[in-house]
Structure 1
Amino acid sequence: MVTSIRVVVGIIASVVCVLLYTVPVLTFKRVIKEASVGEFSCLPYILALFSALTWGWYGFPVVSNGWENLSLFGTCSVGVFFELSFIIIYIWYAPREKKKFVVLMVSLIMAILCVIVSFSTFTFHTHQMRKLFVGSIGIVTSMSMYSAPLVAVKQVMKTKSVEFMPFYLSLFSLLTSLMWTLYGILGRDPYITVPNSVGCLTGILQLVVYCIYSRCKDPPKTHDDIEKVISELEVAASLEDTNGCKP
C-alpha cells in the first residue's frame, strides 16, 4: 500500500517538476530571437545540470536498490535534457570568451561526476553506503542553491512589488517540494526528505511575502530598475526549477 502511494506521489511530483523545468524557455526564446546572450549568465544552468546529474545517478539502480527511485531518475533525466539544451543554445550565441568559460565549467562538472560515479561504484559495495555518499553530495548541492529563490523575496521586499515573483511559480515550487518530501518520507529516505523540507520552508516564505506585498500599491519603476530586477530574477528562476525538482 505504501509503495503504491509512493509511486503515485512520485508521478505527481515528476509532472509538476517537468513543468518547472520549462520555466527558462521564454528566456532562451529571447536569446534566440536577439541572437545574443547579452549579460545573461549560464552558470545557474550549469549548476542545475550538475544537480540533475547527481540526483539522477542517485536514482539509478547502481546506487538505489533496484528501481525504488524510478520517478526521481526519470525526472532528472528530463532535467538533464532541458539544462543541456539551454547550455547548448547559450554556447551557440555567446561570444568566444563566454563560450570558453561555459565549456570549461561543463567539462569540470562532468569530470567531478565521473569521479562520483567511479568512487561510488567501485569503492562502496552496498546500496546503503552508495546512497550515503551520493546522497550527501546531493544534499550539499541542493542546499547551496536555496539562496536563489530568496533573491525574489529580497526584490519584493525592496520594491514592495510582487511583479517579479509570480504567484503560481512560487506555489508550484512549494507543491513540488511537498511532493518530493512526502516521497522521501514514504521511502524512509532522508537524502530526499531533508533538502526538500528546506524547499518547503523557502516556498512558504515566498507565499507569505507574496500575500503581504500583493496588497501594496506598486511603486513606479524606471526602465533601469526593471532591467536590473529581471536580470537578477532570471538567475533565481533558473535555479528555482531545480530547487523544486531536486530532489
Structure 2
Amino acid sequence: MEFLQFLSWACIVFTVGMFSTGLTDLKKMRATQSADNVQFLPFLTTCLNNLGWLYYGLLKKDGTLVLVNTIGAALQVLYIVAYCHYTKSKRRVSAQALAAGVLLFGAWVYFSLFLTRGELQLAQLGLVCSVFTITMYLSPLAGLVEMVRSGSVERLSFPLAVATFLTSSSWTLYGLQLQDYYIMVPNTPGIITSLIRFFLFWRFASVNQDAPTYKLVQM
C-alpha cells in the first residue's frame, strides 16, 4: 500500500509537471501577442484525453486519476482560451474546437445514457481512453523520423522527454500495481518514445555544438 501511495504521488507530480510545459507556450503568446509559432491541436487533443480519463477516474473512484486530469483539463482550457485570444485564424480554431465539443458530447451521451453503469461501461471507456492515449504518444514518431534524416535535434525538448519518461513510467507502474491494463498498457509507448528521444540526443546533440541542441516545444 505504501508503494502504491508513492506511485500515486509520483503520477501526480510528474504528470502535472508535464502538463505545465504548456506554460512556456502561454508565456510566448503573451510576449509576442501572437499564436503564430504555437500549435493548437496538442492543447485540444490533450484536453479531450484529460476529460476522458477524468470520467474514467470518476467511474472507478480513483482519486489520483481524478485529481491529475482535473488539473490537466483546467490547464489545457487555459491554453486553448489564450490561443483563441491571440490567434489570427479564429475561424479555423473555432471549427476545430466545435468539432471536439461535438465529439465530446457524443461520447458522453453514449457512455452515460446508452451504457448502464458497471464493468461494461468502465471497460469500453477504458479502451477508448487507452487507444486515444497511445495515439497521442505515437503521433510524434513522424517528427522523430525526420530528425533522424536531418541529424538535428533543435526542435526536440530534452526536459519534455525526461518529463514524459517519468510520467509514463510512473503511470505504467501504477496501473501494474492496480492490475488495470487500461492504465498500464497505453503509457508503455510513452516510455518507448522517450527512450528514442534520449537516443537521438545522444546520437546528434554533439553534431552542432555551437548551436543550441534543443528548445522547449509543445508535445
* Common fold by TM > 0.5: yes
Distance change (3 Å), C-alpha of 1:39 and 1:213: closer
| Residue of structure 1 in register with 2:66 after alignment | 73
Q: How far apart, in 2, do the equivalents of 1:114 and 1:6 lie? A: 34
CA deviation profile, 1:159-187 (whole Å, cap 9, x unmatched)? 43444334332122111101000111111
| Residue of structure 2 in register with 1:42 after alignment | 40
Contact 2:162 2:194 in 1 (8 A): yes
Q: How far apart, in 2, do the equivalents of 1:108 and 1:93 lie? A: 20
Matched, 1:85 2:78: yes
Amino acid at match of 1:71: T
Matched, 1:238 2:193: no
Amino acid at match of 2:13: V
TM superposition shift of 1:194: 1.0
| Residue of structure 2 in register with 1:94 after alignment | 87
Q: How far apart, in 1, do the equivalents of 2:200 and 2:39 lie? A: 27
Contact 2:18 2:167 in 1 (8 A): no
Q: Classify the secondary structure of the residue corresponding to 2:36.
A: coil
Amino acid at match of 2:54: G
Distance change (3 Å), C-alpha of 1:46 and 1:181: same
Q: What are structure 2's unaligned runs of at least 5 residues?
A: none
| Residue of structure 1 in register with 2:24 after alignment | 26
The percentage of aligned residue pairs carrying the same residue is: 21
| Residue of structure 2 in register with 1:125 after alignment | 116
Q: How far apart, in 1, do the equivalents of 2:74 and 2:139 lie? A: 22
RMSD: 2.6
Distance change (3 Å), C-alpha of 1:151 and 1:31: farther
Amino acid at match of 2:5: V
Q: How far apart, in 2, do the equivalents of 1:182 and 1:156 lie? A: 30
Matched, 1:210 2:187: no
Contact 1:159 1:219 in 2 (8 A): no
Q: How far apart, in 1, do the equivalents of 2:154 and 2:122 lie? A: 41
Contact 1:180 1:192 in 2 (8 A): yes
| Residue of structure 1 in register with 2:54 after alignment | 56
| Residue of structure 2 in register with 1:169 after alignment | 160
Higher RCO (CA-CA < 8 Å; seq separation 6+): 1
TM superposition shift of 1:10: 1.6
Instruction: Please list every run of at least 4 consecutive aligned residues from structure 1 whose deviation after the TM superposition is greater than 6 angstroms.
Output: none
CA deviation profile, 1:58-103 (whole Å, cap 9, x unmatched)? 111xx21xx2x211111111111111111111111122xx222222
Matched, 1:186 2:166: no
Amino acid at match of 2:41: L
Query: Which of 96, 117, 121 is matched with 1:105 structurally?
Result: 96
Tell me the matched-pair count.
219
Amino acid at match of 1:180: W
